[in-house]
Amino acid sequence: MTTVQSAVAPPGKVRLPGTGMFVMAVLILFFGFYIIYPIVLIFIQSFNAEGVIVGEYRFSFVNWVKAFEEPGTLESLGNTIVVFFAYTAVAFPLAVLISWILARTPIRFSRGLEFMFWVSFMLPALTTTIGWTLLLDPYFGFINVMAKNVLFLDGPLFDIYSVEGIVFAHLMGNAISQKVMLLTPAFRNMNVTLEEAGRVSGAGRLRTMMRITLPVMVPPMVVVFMLNTVRMFNSFEIEQILGTPIKFYVYSTRIFSLVREVEPPGYGEATALASLTLIIILIFIPLQRWLLTRRQYTTISGDYKPGLIHLGPLQPFAFILVVFVVALLTVVPVLTLLGGSFMTRAGFFQATPTYTLDHWRTVLADPIFFRALSTTFIIAISTAIISPVMFSMVAYVLVRRNWPGRLALDSIFWVSAGIPGMLSGLGLLWVILDTPGLNWLFGTTWILIIVAILQGKLTSIQMFKSTFLQMGQDMEEAARTAGAGWLYTYFRIWLPLIAPTMILLGTLNFVLAAGATSSVILLASRDTVTLSLLALEYMTTNVGAAREVAGIISLFIVAMTAGLALVARWFGFQVGVKDRGV
């Protein structure tokens, strides 16, 4: 079997049947157990007529029928799709352009500006949205009030409580920053000789970008687009705040409502609704394989030459564009978060007293805070270190090895996106509690670390896959000829080349781990409460200035993440390939 596969394998694939079978079996079993088994349990329970929490198991389709016969389901699905494509249509090309400017042109403060997109990604979407409502509320929003007074308008200049407002809030949230974050390192992996060849052949800057740069950047762009699409149903906060008052409902709000607002929770119906994502995934898996295997995407090979392209007179405009977008993405939420933490009521200057230190006192006097800080740091730093190493190796196996079971392993990661964290967290709780030999994990920091690591699996593996696709075979072949095994090759050849992606995904997973709520809420005990869970608790208690207090906790998370990101980037510069403008 292995011999046959090896015979048809493309040149450059290393034949190690025994090891390969063993490694793949271990990987499939491990990830299948932690990722697929909880989802299977949740699916089985969705066919339980008695409800997940109450009663004995009784097979029925009642949850599925109820979920889809609810009036307004199709409308909310349509709304979700409209909003998603509206903000993606703006965010995607803009993010590609900004990533290209940051990575491929000699823009000033390139590293600092790129880092600001990371900071924007670290800021909670809720804070960003609230910040913008303070500016764009049609009644009291600062910008609208100013516009009324200065431009003598009858109505608001821009009403954030509208479909356009929801799209805008997504853009100001993570829609742009996350794409820039993920795409910039990929653009840095571009061999300048390819673009130079285009220019020498007489192509202009735009033509070179359209005909040379973008086509070879297909793998990361496809991956980023797909990652966003499968998470289309995961976003609900923005729609809930801005959409509910105008009766604009989206699909994810219904899933959220069934899990968080109905008593007992409608897990069965929520699973049925969320499973729609699986259809998208079933389309995506073969589509992605076709797109990524139909041609060669190598941009880094033995003759790799990093370099930048000057935009001539357009260079200052490119700088202004990037600075403008960075300012939009970061200034408002940072001011809301930081300034609001010193205000009695964030954004309301009428409050008496206007300024206070009480919220900081509340946080610092909370006996759980410092414990949560330490737990969060342990979980997030473990995730930041382990996840890039683990997932880069898995991606390496998926892209570079010809071992059997790669499609199955890859599918495990894609399928995991079919169920939101608030459902899979419950499945994992059942797995941990019901599996002999594993239930000791319950209530420990270990299980939170496992969950936090697994949380970033899909993005990490797909981004690493696209990075490996950009790397040529020649370097690996040289190492192999010199007698190096695959592990040695991985550490000596690949690791320095993928260092920027590792730093990026380490930081990304740190952010996800530090901010995790729904995936860990059922698994944390009183001794392992994290900062994000503490912030969530303040947000959801209808007491005092809980939002400002939650904001301060978020500030600690952002500060911790930004600190780590800075250290990680510095470390990346030391170990990575030099002069690539990392």
Partner 1 sequence: MMRQLVSISVVATVLMFPTVSAQVAAATPEMDKLIAAAKKEGQVEVILSGQVPRKLRAAMPAFQKKYGVKINFQTGSGRKHAERILAERRAGRFTVDVWLGGANTALVQLLPNKALASFPELLIDPEVKDPKLWFKGKHHYTDPEHRYIFTWGASPAYNISYNTKMVKPEEIKSYHDLLNPKWKGKIVSWSPGAQGTAASSVPMFINPKIGEKWFRRWANEMKPVIVTDARQAAEWVAIGRFPIGLFGTSTQAEILAGQNFPIAGWLPHPMAEGEVLSASAANLMAMDRAPNPNARNLFINWALSKEGQSLFIKIGEKTDSLRRDVDNKVIAQQYRIDPEGEYYVPFSDPTYINKQSEIITKLRTIMKEAGYK
The binding site for partner 1 (CB under 8 A) comprises 53-55, 71-72, 76, 139-140, 240-241, 244-245, 247, 249, 253-254, 260-265, 344-345, 348, 350-352, 426, 429-430, 433-434, 439, 442, 521-522, 525-526, 533, 537, 540-545, 547
Q: How far is the CB of 455 from partner 1 (least distance, A)?
A: 18
Cβ distance to partner 1 smaller for residue 3 or 352: 352
Place of tokens 């990661």: 413
Could you tell me the CA-to-CA distances from 424 to 31, 430, 509 in Å, in that order?
14, 10, 18
Q: How far is the CB of 121 from partner 1 (least distance, A)?
A: 24
Cβ distance to partner 1 smaller for residue 55 or 485: 55
Asked if 309 and 198 touch (Cβ cutoff 8 Å), the reply is: no
Asked if 48 and 59 touch (Cβ cutoff 8 Å), the reply is: yes
Q: Estimate the crossing angle of helix 251-260 against helix 73-104, to 10 degrees.
A: 110
Give the distance, in angstroms, between the CA of residue 302 and the centroid of all CA atoms in the same chain. 32
Q: How far is the CB of 548 from partner 1 (least distance, A)?
A: 11
Cβ distance to partner 1 smaller for residue 164 or 434: 434
Q: How far is the CB of 487 from partner 1 (least distance, A)?
A: 39
Q: Note the helical H segments in 231-366.
A: 237-243, 251-260, 267-274, 276-293, 315-341, 358-365
Cβ distance to partner 1 smaller for residue 114 or 548: 548
Cβ distance to partner 1 smaller for residue 397 or 523: 523
Q: How far is the CB of 83 from partner 1 (least distance, A)?
A: 15
Closest CA to 172 of 320, 384, 346, 335: 335
Place of tokens 């450059």: 12
Beta bridge partners of 343: 355
Place of tokens 């208690």: 541
Quickly count: other Cβ atoms within 10 Å of residue 572's Cβ.
19
Asked if 409 and 27 touch (Cβ cutoff 8 Å), the reply is: yes
Asked if 178 and 99 touch (Cβ cutoff 8 Å), the reply is: no
Cβ distance to partner 1 smaller for residue 45 or 208: 45
Cβ distance to partner 1 smaller for residue 68 or 573: 68
Cβ distance to partner 1 smaller for residue 33 or 491: 33
Q: How far is the CB of 412 from partner 1 (least distance, A)?
A: 24
Cβ distance to partner 1 smaller for residue 237 or 410: 237
The Cα 255–Cα 258 span in angstroms is 5
Q: How far is the CB of 279 from partner 1 (least distance, A)?
A: 23
Q: How far is the CB of 171 from partner 1 (least distance, A)?
A: 22
Q: How far is the CB of 149 from partner 1 (least distance, A)?
A: 17
Q: How far is the CB of 295 from partner 1 (least distance, A)?
A: 46
Q: How far is the CB of 350 from partner 1 (least distance, A)?
A: 7
- Rounded to 5°, the CA angle 125-449-493 comes to 95
Host H or E run for residue 220: helix 218-230
Q: Where are the beta strands (DSSP E) in 353-486?
A: none
Cβ distance to partner 1 smaller for residue 224 or 529: 529
Contacts 24+ apart (CB under 8 A), 544-550: 545/344, 545/345, 545/358, 545/359, 547/130, 547/346, 548/340, 548/341, 548/343, 548/345, 548/346, 548/359, 549/359, 549/362, 549/363
Asked if 329 and 120 touch (Cβ cutoff 8 Å), the reply is: yes
Q: Estimate the crossing angle of helix 546-575 against helix 531-540, to 10 degrees.
A: 160
Cβ distance to partner 1 smaller for residue 186 or 521: 521
